[in-house]
Amino acid sequence: MYAKASALSRYNENLMPRLLEGKSALVLGVANRWSLAYAIAQAFIREGAELTLTYQGERQKQTVEDLAAELKAHQAIGCDVTQDDQLTALTNALKQQGTVLNAVVHSIAFANREDLSRPFVETSRSGYALAQDVSAYSLVAVARAVAPVMTSGGSLTTLTYLGSNRVIPNYNVMGVAKAALESTVRYLASELGPKQVRVNAISAGPVKTASARGIKDFSSILDFVAQRAPLRRNTDPLEVADTAVFLASRLGRGVTGNILYVDSGFQIMGL
């Protein structure tokens, strides 16, 4: 019964227009085919957007370029969001191409594996700073880099998780970083609003991604959510992707500074 319901909940391309036709989008954080960023990139292409992907360093370059070719994305550009010079280079490259961005997706987070497997109180100073830099401050840096080429306004969307405001076993320092990320969304939404740039976050339920493997006992979290969420199932990456499309399209033109939950309703449950 639930498999059928999940299938019916998937996007029906015969009933919807190409919501991002004529728009230019940038997705940061596509690492592989199992990432939420990849699902979002697929949805943006499906909706007619001209898509640019970014990759971090030479190690990711070939993989992301192959994924860009597979998706029929416009291009892939190198950009390490912890390096200000690379963010400046990204801005300059887009300016030189005459690109006017309408939508940006920030799907970047990182914490040391050891800081996700030991008690939170044992988090190292350097590990805490690293998680904050990559997972939260990078949204500030990305916003600063893309604002000059979002001259017609648009949407800046990031990805967060319930561990930002509730204690999730073994999420530890990443939960604290996501809390900072969500606060960052609100401050950026306030500052960029006059330029008609909307800033939001999607709080996705747990999904089997490569990065999720770094969380100890992650499979037990998946099982618990499927048992307790109102919809009695885990999150489909396509649901997250369709929400990103909504935010990037004119359908989401009045939404900013919000955390949108796409988690089968799990966030409403007490026990």
CA distance 122 to 17: 51
For the question of residue 2 being annotated catalytic, the response is no
CA distance 238 to 40: 8
Q: Which of 38, 55, 161, 261 is catalytic?
A: 161
Neighbours of 57 (CB within 10 A): 11
Let me know the angle formed at the C-alpha of 240 by 151 and 48, rounded to the nearest 5 degrees: 50
Spatial CA neighbour of 119 closest among 165, 180, 167: 167
- Which phi-psi region, left, alpha or beta, contains residue 98 (left: φ > 0; alpha: ψ -120 to 50)? left
For the question of residue 161 being annotated catalytic, the response is yes
Q: Which of 55, 128, 171, 261 is catalytic?
A: 171
CA distance 254 to 234: 28
Using DSSP, state whether 258 is helix, strand or coil: coil
**Do the Cβ atoms of 243 and 158 come closer than 8 Å?**
no
Spatial CA neighbour of 266 closest among 172, 166, 184: 166
Just list the catalytic residues. 161, 171
